[in-house]
Amino acid sequence: MPVTRLSTALRGGIAALALISAAGLAAAQDVADVPRNQTLVLTPWGDQPAQFANIENWNPYLTSITKQRDVMQYTINEMLFYTNLNTGELIPWQGESFEYAPDFMSATIKLRDGVTWADGTPFTSADVKFTLEALRDAPPEINGSASFNEWVASVEAPDPMTAVITFKKPAPRFVRDFLALGHENHYPILPKHVWEGQDIATFTNYDPAAGLPIGTGAYKLVSTATNQQIFDRRDDWWGVTTGFQDTPAPARIILTPVSSDEAMGQLHIANQVDGGRQLLIGTFEAARAQNPNLLSWNPEGPVWGAPDGCMYSIFFNNMVAPWNDVNIRRAINSAMDRTELADIAYEGAMPTATFAFSGYMSGTWLTPDTPLTAKLESYNVDNHSQEDVDAHMAAGGYVRDAEGFWSKDGERIEVLMRTPAFIQPLLAPVTQQLIDAGFDARQGAVDDSWLPDMQLGNFGTMLFVHCGSLSEPLETLQHYHSKWARPIGTAIPNLIAGFRYENPEMDAIIDQMDAMPASTDPDSEYMKDAVAALDIALRDMPVIHLIEEYHVVTFNGTYWTGWPGADDPYAAPYTPWEAFNLVIHNLQQTGN
């Protein structure tokens, strides 16, 4: 009798739970069943909430909607050009070719014939003109509007397959940066016939009855809910009908949220997911032990992953004392044992770094005998040495106080090391190394207060991520330009330049480089400028780079093969980057 009663209560409770839960979910809109082995399941990149928000907003230009980082660029939208960051190779897609005028004041883009929007309307230069000009005129909160406004004067469409962009100033790298590189910034061309007359800041681009969102991509949205977004393959995709590409293998792409490393590891083990969020190295290795089909970029560890273009760095606030003193910055650099940091914080899965030139540069710009390599080596940045710490501190007039901490004029130097949550593993070891070198260092709170504080300059030292060069040195060096600096209390326009560095000498060099195309020729003006700028950056050390961000991007080979890797580097493996669309088109079923 008691047992019956208990189980009745149990059943009643569970049934109630299930009913209430099910009632809260948007029931999928007539979605057909697709077998697991024809479905590609991906998660968004990075730490994300356990539920999607803005599920009925598919405007790719609202900066705060992370979906554009997550899924639109490899389902609904396509790019004019893609870049294989591993080689720098340009892969034409909606576009066929482009050409700059000799003075770099305009660029002519040839479009591919036969590209159509999902509703059958041809994709033409009118769409390109509409989009670029809409972005140029868009309000400030629209993704990229400030940049398009800075560069684009006007766009002409002399014929349906030709678009001519006229610039406001020489723009030798505009097409690459805004229409081809696709590293986190996505600027898809919009269908003019849908977006014309809409307010780009409020239009949600969602109307299932009308077929929205519409793109030229091979997939269409069939269901959107907080726990899942489903995209099904379009049989009438232009790429197949024109013979440009084969039909992509996944019949369905599902995006599902996952909020922790451990949860992602579990999903991989259970074959519930095929890719997306990175894993920590330990989780990857533990998961791989249980599911041998898991793979990453490299076939062996501990550096399993691939570079993501960024460095974990110490940002100094160069506008406040004592961080405006180059001696203390150099001393802190000498206090850092980068190998130990990489080992403790990332189990050796990330390589050490000396400057924010990413691994994608190493094959072209940083081969052993280039001027840049020589300059980097001459500074011997990665050299952990207490003697050097002591020497630099002595040079700055600092002495150790009674308790052995560095101080000046009787005042102890306090180092409050701040960090955003995504670099938290570095916080404790960096702080400890500073303490070991004689600094009175403490860890700051890990929450989102770093954001406004970094913007307004309310910090001294911050562990932050310096995303720099993927394809040429200027991409990093320009962050040292004083046009990014603002007085303390005024927000800076670009977080990556949050170290608030000012140096007219540097500004002049960067301005020159801005107006000329990149060149690896050691005797070119460009290269000379690059070396001079690098020299200043390494001399002044307004920011010091510790570790290059490599993520163990994990793919599941159970149902899908053809993932990019060191042995087949046809695209960088990051889902939030545009070129991930190439991966979708390269996948094949394993037959499992």
Partner 1 sequence: MSSDLLRYILRRLVQLVLVIFVAVSVNFLIPRLLPGDPVATLIARMQTAGGNQSIDIAAISASYYEKYGLDQPILSQYLNYWGDLFRLDLGVSFANFPEKVTNMILRALPWSVGLLSAATLFSFFVGSWLGARLAWPGAGRVIRTTVPALMVLAAIPFYLLAIILVYIFAVELRWFPPAGGVETTRIMRFEIPTLLDVLHHAVLPFSAIALGNIGFWALGMRSQTVSILGEDYITFAESKGLAPRRVFFWYGIRNAFLPQITALALSLGAVVSGAILVEVIFNYPGLGTLLYTAIRGQDYYVIQGVVLVLIVSLAVMLFVVDLIYPLLDPRIRR
Partner 2 sequence: MTDAAAANRASRRKASRVDGTLVAGLALLGLIALISILGPLLSEPSLADVGAVRPRRPPSPDFWLGTDAQGRDMLTLMLNATPNTLKMGLIAGMIGVGFGTLIGLISGQFGGWIDTVISVISDSLMTVPAIAILVIIAGNVSEMTTLIMALVVASLSWMFTARTVRAQVLTVKERGYVEVARVNGEGPMEILFREVMPNVAPYILASFVGTVSAAILATIGLEALGLGAQNELTLGNTIYWAQQSSAVLRGFWWWWAPPIVIIAVIFVGLFLTSVGFDRFANPRLGRE
- The Cα 218–Cα 241 span in angstroms is 11
Full DSSP string of 507-518: HHHHHHHHTS--
**Residue 331, number of CB atoms within 10 A of its CB:** 27
In the complex with partner 2, which residue's Cβ is closer, 9 or 421?
Answer: 421
How buried is 397 (Cβ within 10 angstroms: 0-12 exposed, 13-18 middle, 19+ buried)? exposed
Minimal distance, residue 280 CB to partner 2, in Å = 6
- The Cα 460–Cα 104 span in angstroms is 41
Minimal distance, residue 317 CB to partner 1, in Å = 15
* Residue 283 touching partner 1 (CB under 8 A): no
The token pair at 578 is: 């545009």
The token pair at 27 is: 């029931």
Minimal distance, residue 377 CB to partner 1, in Å = 27
Minimal distance, residue 365 CB to partner 1, in Å = 18
**Among 350, 495, 552, 587, contact with partner 1 (rule: CB under 8 A):** 495
In the complex with partner 1, which residue's Cβ is closer, 1 or 402?
Answer: 1
Name the one range near partner 2 by CB under 8 A: 148-156, 229-237, 421-429, 475-483. Answer: 421-429
**Which of 313, 332, 517 minimizes the C-alpha distance to 441?**
332
- The Cα 343–Cα 560 span in angstroms is 32
Minimal distance, residue 425 CB to partner 2, in Å = 8
**Which of 461, 480, 196 minimizes the C-alpha distance to 335?**
461
Q: Which residues contact 182 (CB under 8 A, 6 or more apart)?
A: 73, 79, 82, 83, 577, 578, 579
In the complex with partner 1, which residue's Cβ is closer, 437 or 474?
Answer: 474
**Among 283, 334, 354, 556, contact with partner 2 (rule: CB under 8 A):** 283
In the complex with partner 2, which residue's Cβ is closer, 296 or 433?
Answer: 433
Minimal distance, residue 290 CB to partner 2, in Å = 9
Length of the chain: 592
* Residue 427 binding target from partner 1, partner 2, none, CB below 5 to 8 Å by type: partner 2
Helices (H), 203-260: 238-241
Minimal distance, residue 419 CB to partner 2, in Å = 10
How buried is 254 (Cβ within 10 angstroms: 0-12 exposed, 13-18 middle, 19+ buried)? buried
- The Cα 329–Cα 331 span in angstroms is 5
Q: Which residues contact 226 (CB under 8 A, 6 or more apart)?
A: 25, 26, 51, 52, 53, 55, 257
* Residue 141 touching partner 2 (CB under 8 A): no
In the complex with partner 1, which residue's Cβ is closer, 123 or 151?
Answer: 151
Minimal distance, residue 67 CB to partner 2, in Å = 26
State which of positions 118-177 bind partner 1 (CB under 8 A).
139-141, 143-144, 146-147, 150
Please report how many Cα atoms fall inside a 13 Å half-sphere around the Cα of residue 142, on the Cβ side: 23
* Residue 496 touching partner 2 (CB under 8 A): no
In the complex with partner 2, which residue's Cβ is closer, 379 or 422?
Answer: 422
Instruction: Please check whether residue 441 is in contact with residue 417, taking contact to mean a CB–CB distance below 8 angstroms.
Output: yes
Minimal distance, residue 364 CB to partner 2, in Å = 36
In the complex with partner 1, which residue's Cβ is closer, 162 or 458?
Answer: 458
- The Cα 146–Cα 173 span in angstroms is 16
**Among 45, 58, 60, 69, contact with partner 1 (rule: CB under 8 A):** 69
The token pair at 119 is: 């509703």
Instruction: Please check whether residue 571 is in contact with residue 327, taking contact to mean a CB–CB distance below 8 angstroms.
Output: no
State which of positions 399-418 bind partner 2 (CB under 8 A).
416
Map residues 426-445 to x or -, x wherever contact with partner 2 holds by CB under 8 A: -xxx-xxx--------xxxx
Name the one range near partner 1 by CB under 8 A: 117-125, 390-398, 442-450, 544-552. Answer: 442-450
Per-residue 3-state assignment (H helix, E strand, C coil) for 251-285: CEEEECCCCCHHHHHHHHHCCCCCECCCECHHHHH
**Which of 71, 25, 28 minimizes the C-alpha distance to 48?**
71
- The Cα 181–Cα 89 span in angstroms is 10
Map residues 312-351 to x or -, x wherever contact with partner 2 holds by CB under 8 A: ----------------------------x--xxx-x----
Q: Which residues pair with 73 in a beta bridge?
A: none
Minimal distance, residue 439 CB to partner 2, in Å = 14
**Residue 36, number of CB atoms within 10 A of its CB:** 15
* Residue 25 binding target from partner 1, partner 2, none, CB below 5 to 8 Å by type: partner 1
**Among 282, 301, 371, 557, contact with partner 2 (rule: CB under 8 A):** 282
**Among 230, 356, 579, 582, contact with partner 1 (rule: CB under 8 A):** 230
**Among 45, 58, 62, 358, contact with partner 1 (rule: CB under 8 A):** 62
Q: Which residues contact 482 (CB under 8 A, 6 or more apart)?
A: 501, 502, 503, 504, 506, 507
**Across the chain, which distance is largest between two alpha carbons, in Å?**
92
Name the one range near partner 2 by CB under 8 A: 124-132, 262-270, 491-499, 517-525. Answer: 262-270
Minimal distance, residue 462 CB to partner 2, in Å = 13
Minimal distance, residue 413 CB to partner 2, in Å = 17
- Report residue 38: phi and psi, to 5°: -110, 5
Q: Count Cβ neighbours within 10 Å for each residue of 103-126 and write b for 16 or more, e otherwise.
A: ebebbbbbbbeebbbbeeeebbbb
Name the one range near partner 1 by CB under 8 A: 180-188, 234-242, 524-532, 565-573. Answer: 180-188
Size of the residue set binding partner 1 (CB under 8 A): 86
State which of positions 233-272 bind partner 1 (CB under 8 A).
254, 256-260, 262-263, 266-267, 270, 272
State which of positions 454-493 bind partner 1 (CB under 8 A).
454-456, 467, 475, 484, 491-493
Residues that bind partner 2 (CB under 8 A): 260-262, 265-266, 269, 280, 282-283, 286-287, 340, 343-345, 347, 416, 421, 424-425, 427-429, 431-433, 442-449
